[in-house]
Amino acid sequence: MNVYDSWRIAAMLNAQGMVATKNVADADIIILNTCSVREKATNKVFSELGRIRDIKKQDAIFGIVGCVAREVGRNAFRRMPDLNFVLGPQSYHRLPQILQDPDSKLLNIDLTGLEKFDEMPQLEHAPTVSYIPIQEGCNHCCTYCIVPYTRGPELSRSYDDVMRDTMHAAETGAVEICFLGQNVNGYKYTDANGKIFRLSDLIRATAKIPEIRRIRFTSSYPTEMTDDLIEMFRDEPKLLPFLNMPIQSGSPDVLKRMNRPYSLDSYLEIIEKLRAARPDIQISSDFIVGFPGETDDDFAQTMDIARRVKYINSYSFKYSPRPHTAAALMPNQIAENIKRERLAILDSELNEIQREFNETCIGKTLTCLCEGPDKTGRHLIYRTPYMQQCIVAKPKNDMPAIMADIKITAANRASLRGEFVKD
């Protein structure tokens, strides 16, 4: 989501006649887009700002946007008096104001809902993989999560707006569409005639666009995985056989305290339905270890579910207490060394499952999307339908195909190797 926000900010500054530079010391304006979902990311912001202040041109204006800006607000100016602007994740479209009056201190951390989408120019050339946000905010109140505070209540964008952005992306270079939302499968838009649009409607319409070859979406909340959406995995071959559906923990007690009200049985039942609809589907999860009160037995249940579902491409985090969240105030916070130990055990299991899955791909032919050359320039990096990285020797004469059938020849935990299937 932050990557997308940064693209829009860059497009907005392009429209003001600015061009991007890779060198901070050359920049006239420097924007740090920030994430506050875990404490570590927040802590890095101010050290990074200090580094920027020391190397930037003296009259360059700089500031922060995104969730840390909203979390820290006016205090950011106190901590870093040289800062010029502090703009929350729903008010960064106000950025051009600071260009008119660089000596002011621009602060706006309001929750303005969907306003930014209408006020900002479109990207001139869409990236091959284009993110299309379909919603802002979140109404699930997971007790560990700062998102409802930083990005506000859940709002779904109109079906027409989303499809207009999707068409624009398709016409300017997109080959893959990734729909984005904190609770993306809860997307629900009711038009003036009372007609309800769901994520499945967006997928069905997008699949009809010839330029778009692959569709995916993230992140999903388990209980919002409705049958109409599951059917899309059966009916729309362009929808990738890969789904991020975070379980967070395998312990019913921990899930209850996280305010994630689903049972393991109902979660596994959804996975069964998905596998019935699309036998080759693979599931990815996010995990939090060391949530307040998590016992050895709770953690063992997380290990158990990870093995049972055989999650691929998953993310795992140590629980990190966040301001404005209920879990930060819960008793029985877990010691850092135990969190670290549990994370290492889970990571090693997830890595092993990933390696096993990657090895099962050897000998198969997968239709992959080209991401460009690797650092050496001698290979091309492709992305499989399961989001694995696949490295292929660069053909000598031909232009690389954006989509290609690749036979997998080798695999390790991190990536695959393959060769083009010649017809």
Footprint on this chain of ligand SAH (rule: CB under 6 A): 37-38, 138, 144-145, 147, 182, 219, 246, 248, 286, 288, 317, 319-320, 322
Distance CA 30, CA 82 (A): 12
Q: Which is nearer to ligand SAH, 128 or 150 (CB)?
A: 150
Least distance from C-beta 221 to ligand SAH, angstroms? Answer: 7
> Using CA atoms in the order 30, 35, 39, 45, what is the torsion angle rounded to 10 degrees?
0
Q: Which is nearer to ligand SAH, 299 or 317 (CB)?
A: 317
Least distance from C-beta 222 to ligand SAH, angstroms? Answer: 10
- Give the CA distances from residue 331 to residues 219, 257, 259, 292, 318, in Å, rounded to whole numbers and listed in that order: 29, 11, 16, 7, 17
Q: Which is nearer to ligand SAH, 144 or 189 (CB)?
A: 144
DSSP count for the chain of H helices, then E strands: 14, 20
| 218, 183 contact by CB (below 8 A) | no
Least distance from C-beta 316 to ligand SAH, angstroms? Answer: 8
Q: Which is nearer to ligand SAH, 186 or 418 (CB)?
A: 186
Least distance from C-beta 44 to ligand SAH, angstroms? Answer: 15
By C-alpha distance, which of 342, 354, 240, 341 is closest to 287?
342
Least distance from C-beta 279 to ligand SAH, angstroms? Answer: 26
Q: Which is nearer to ligand SAH, 175 or 327 (CB)?
A: 327
Chain-centroid distance, C-alpha 6: 13
Distance CA 286, CA 243 (A): 12
Distance CA 328, CA 90 (A): 25
Q: Which is nearer to ligand SAH, 333 or 389 (CB)?
A: 333
Least distance from C-beta 95 to ligand SAH, angstroms? Answer: 24
Q: Which is nearer to ligand SAH, 85 or 319 (CB)?
A: 319
Least distance from C-beta 247 to ligand SAH, angstroms? Answer: 9
Strands (E) in 93-166, as ranges, are 106-108, 129-133, 135-136, 155-156
- Residue 33 CB-half CA count within 13 A: 16
